[in-house]
């Protein structure tokens, strides 16, 4: 272990770059198909993320807000938080699961109150902000009024699409709801495009790492070996016999059955 630690300390940059490159290649191997290399990298990532979460929970939450306050500042009553927190783990006991329901019920009540407060503080200002002037006036220019008019039209048509108390068979309601559906499609398309661009940004970042950071330290023999392995893999993929399809598999028994019937007739 000491030899490994000293080797890593002497070649810290190279080890970091090779680990990042191997992890990147292992994760992107999923683009071909799911394989043991990808699963190993996925499990390692989940394990590291879980370990980091445990450390951050202690270092940034429990220690400064509970342990230090209780031990160093003398607020001993914080010790009662430990048995309260341990009540959650009674959910794994069939006999004493009712103890966990007590703390879960209290937590759900607190979260419900916080959710209602968050809803009121978030959506009530949004409802109030939706009332905008659509007629040019002092302090409201033509461009601002036109923008507010478009905002009001989109808001009304989208709300009409989700308003089911009135039958949508009426021509005015049907056309208004159809226009709102188009606006929703535009919004969802923009959101999907932003998601795709975010994924492309991640891919470009990893590609930049592979070419600029990892590429210069890779010896030539590695590229030759990688090219040979890739060529062998491609030859294996394209030259291996394909399994018979369902239709081909169904035709074979019929042919065999017809031959058997013909032989029986001859006899």
Please compute the mean of the pLDDT values over residues 202-224 and round it to a whole number. Answer: 88
- Binned at pLDDT 50, 70 and 90, residue 246 comes out as low
Please say if the pLDDT value at position 205 is more than 70: yes
What's the CA gap between 161 and 176, in Å, rounded? 7
Domain that holds residue 20: 1-74
Give the integer Cα–Cα distance in Å for 257 and 255: 5
Whole-structure pTM value: 0.61
Residue 160, judged by CB atoms within 10 A of its CB (0-12, 13-18, 19+), counts as buried
In terms of domains, do 48 and 97 share one? no
Residue 267 within a domain: no
Average pLDDT over residues 165-185: 86
Q: Is residue 266 part of a domain?
A: no
Q: What is the mean pLDDT of residues 4-14?
A: 79
Residues 213 and 141 both lie in one domain: yes
Most confident of 37-46, 64-73, 81-90: 37-46
- Give yes or no: residues 104 and 48 share one domain: no
Q: How many domains does the chain divide into?
A: 4
Whole-number Cα distances in Å, 186 to 115, 181, 190: 30, 9, 6
Residue 40 inside a domain? The answer is: yes
Amino acid 126: pLDDT:
86
pLDDT > 60? residue 256: no
* pLDDT over threshold 60, residue 84: yes
Tokens representing 124 are 């009530």
Same domain, 207 and 241: no
Q: Are residues 89 and 153 in the same domain?
A: no
Q: 207 and 142, same structural domain?
A: yes
Q: How far apart are CA 31 and CA 37, in angstroms?
A: 12
243: left (phi over 0), alpha (psi -120 to 50) or beta: beta
The DSSP letter of residue 244 is: P
Give pLDDT, residue 164: 78
> Looking at the structure, do residues 225 and 205 belong to the same domain, yes or no?
no
Same domain for 201 and 229, yes or no, is no
For residues 39 and 59, membership in a common domain is answered with yes
**124 domain residue, yes or no:** yes
Tokens representing 216 are 């210069």
Q: Select from 58, 74, 90 the last residue of a domain.
A: 74
Residue 29 lies in a domain: yes
Structural domain includes residue 226:
yes
Asked if residue 86 and residue 152 are part of one domain, the reply reads no
Confidence of residue 249 (pLDDT cuts 50, 70, 90): low
Do 30 and 63 sit in the same domain of this protein?
Answer: yes
Residue with more model confidence, 168 or 191: 191
- The band of 94, judged by pLDDT with boundaries at 50, 70 and 90, is confident
| Tokens 């990688």 belong to residue | 226
25-55 pLDDT tens trace: 999 888 888 889 999 999 999 999 999 999 9
Does residue 218 come out as left (phi exceeding 0), alpha (psi in the -120 to 50 range) or beta? beta
- pLDDT in the model for residue 243: 67
Query: Are 139 and 110 contained in the same domain?
Result: no
């Amino acid at each position: 272990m000491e030899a490994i630690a000293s080797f890593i300390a002497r070649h810290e940059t190279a080890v970091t770059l090779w680990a990042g490159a191997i992890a990147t290649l292992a994760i992107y191997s999923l683009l071909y198909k799911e394989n043991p290399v990808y699963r190993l990298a996925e499990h390692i990532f989940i394990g590291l993320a879980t370990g980091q979460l445990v450390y951050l929970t202690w270092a940034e939450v429990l220690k400064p807000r509970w342990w230090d306050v209780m031990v160093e500042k003398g607020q001993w009553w914080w010790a009662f938080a430990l048995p309260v927190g341990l009540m959650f783990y009674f959910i794994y006991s069939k006999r004493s699961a009712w103890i966990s329901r007590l703390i879960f019920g209290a937590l759900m009540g607190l979260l419900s109150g916080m959710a209602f407060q968050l809803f009121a503080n978030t959506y009530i200002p949004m409802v109030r902000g939706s009332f905008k002037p659509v007629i040019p006036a002092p302090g409201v220019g033509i461009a601002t009024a036109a923008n507010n008019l478009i905002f009001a039209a989109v808001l009304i048509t989208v709300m009409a699409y989700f308003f089911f108390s009135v039958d949508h068979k009426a021509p005015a309601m049907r056309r208004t709801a159809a226009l709102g559906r188009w606006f929703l499609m535009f919004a969802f398309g923009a959101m999907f495009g932003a998601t795709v661009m975010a994924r492309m940004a991640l891919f470009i970042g990893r590609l930049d790492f592979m070419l600029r950071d990892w590429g210069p330290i890779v010896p030539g023999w590695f590229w030759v070996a990688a090219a040979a392995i890739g060529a062998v893999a491609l030859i294996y993929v394209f030259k291996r016999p394909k399994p018979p399809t369902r239709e081909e598999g169904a035709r074979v028994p019929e042919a065999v059955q017809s031959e058997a019937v013909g032989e029986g007739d001859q006899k």
